[in-house]
C-alpha cells in the first residue's frame, strides 16, 4: 500500500506538470502550484524547496521510464523478430500514455525556453547506460552471428525513431490523440521487419 506522503507528492507533481504546462517554469509560482494541488505552501515546501527542484523531479520521473525496466536477454534458439518485438513492446509501453506525453511536451517546451533545463535533460539522458536497453541484446545477437551492425547507436536511433514517428511525435507536436494499441503494435511490427531486413545475417 502506498504511503500517504507518496500519494501527496504524486498529487503535487501532477499539479506542477499542469501548472508548468500552462505557464512555463519561469512564470509558474510555488503559490500557484500549491493552490492547484490543494495543499498549503508549507506542505509544498516540505517536499520541494523550490520550483526548479520540483521540475527536476519531473524530469527524473520522465527519464525513469527509459531506464527503470527489466532487461531482456538474447536467446539463440528463439526467432529474432519475436525477441525484438517483445523487447520493444516492453520498453515502449509508456510512450502512448497521456501522462507521459504531457510530461514530455512540458520538458521539450522548457528545453526550448531555457538552456539550463536543456542541459539538465542532456545530462540525464547521458546517465542512462544503454539506449532503451537494446544495446546489450544487439551485442549478444552480433556475437552469435545473428546480426551484422557496424554502428549500433545509429541503428538503435533509426529503429526507435521510425516507431516514434508514428506513435509519439505526431501526438507530442500536433496534439493528436494517443495512438491505438493496434497502431502501436503495427508500428513496432513494421520497424522490426525493416530492422531485420537491414541487419540480419543470411
Stretch 68-95: mean pLDDT, rounded? 86
Residue 152 lies in domain: 59-199
Does residue 22 fall inside a structural domain?
yes
Residues 184-195: tens digit of each pLDDT: 999 999 999 999
The structural domain count of the chain equals 2
Does residue 54 fall inside a structural domain?
no
Residue 89 has pLDDT above 80, yes or no: yes
Does residue 92 fall inside a structural domain?
yes
Pair (118, 77) in one structural domain: yes
Pair (37, 64) in one structural domain: no
Please report, for the domain that includes residue 29, its CATH number: 1.10.10.60
Pair (39, 77) in one structural domain: no
Does residue 177 fall inside a structural domain?
yes
Q: List C-alpha distances in Å: 35 to 4, 26, 83, 112, 149.
A: 19, 17, 48, 27, 53
- Do the Cβ atoms of 145 and 201 come closer than 8 Å? yes
Pair (67, 118) in one structural domain: yes
Predicted model pTM:
0.75
Pair (100, 149) in one structural domain: yes
Does residue 112 fall inside a structural domain?
yes
Pair (121, 90) in one structural domain: yes
Stretch 167-192: mean pLDDT, rounded? 92
Residues 19-41: tens digit of each pLDDT: 998 888 889 999 999 999 999 99
Pair (122, 68) in one structural domain: yes
Amino acid at each position: 500500500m502506498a504511503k500517504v506522503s507518496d500519494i501527496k507528492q504524486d498529487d503535487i507533481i501532477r499539479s506542477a506538470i499542469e501548472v508548468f504546462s500552462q505557464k512555463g517554469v519561469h512564470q509558474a509560482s510555488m503559490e500557484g502550484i500549491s493552490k492547484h494541488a490543494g495543499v498549503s505552501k508549507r506542505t509544498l515546501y516540505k517536499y520541494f524547496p523550490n520550483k526548479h527542484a520540483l521540475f527536476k523531479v519531473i524530469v527524473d520521473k520522465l527519464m525513469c521510464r527509459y531506464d527503470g525496466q527489466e532487461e531482456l536477454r538474447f536467446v539463440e534458439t528463439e526467432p529474432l523478430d519475436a525477441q525484438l518485438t517483445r523487447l520493444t513492446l516492453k520498453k515502449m509501453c509508456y510512450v502512448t500514455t497521456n501522462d507521459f506525453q504531457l510530461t514530455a511536451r512540458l520538458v521539450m517546451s522548457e528545453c526550448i525556453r531555457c538552456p539550463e533545463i536543456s542541459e539538465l535533460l542532456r545530462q540525464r539522458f547521458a546517465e542512462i547506460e544503454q539506449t532503451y536497453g537494446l544495446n546489450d541484446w544487439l551485442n549478444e545477437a552480433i556475437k552469435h552471428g545473428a546480426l551484422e551492425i557496424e554502428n549500433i547507436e545509429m541503428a538503435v536511433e533509426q529503429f526507435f525513431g521510425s516507431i516514434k514517428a508514428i506513435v509519439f511525435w505526431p501526438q507530442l507536436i500536433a496534439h493528436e490523440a494517443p495512438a491505438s494499441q493496434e497502431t502501436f503494435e503495427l508500428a513496432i511490427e513494421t520497424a522490426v521487419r525493416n530492422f531485420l531486413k537491414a541487419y540480419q545475417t543470411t
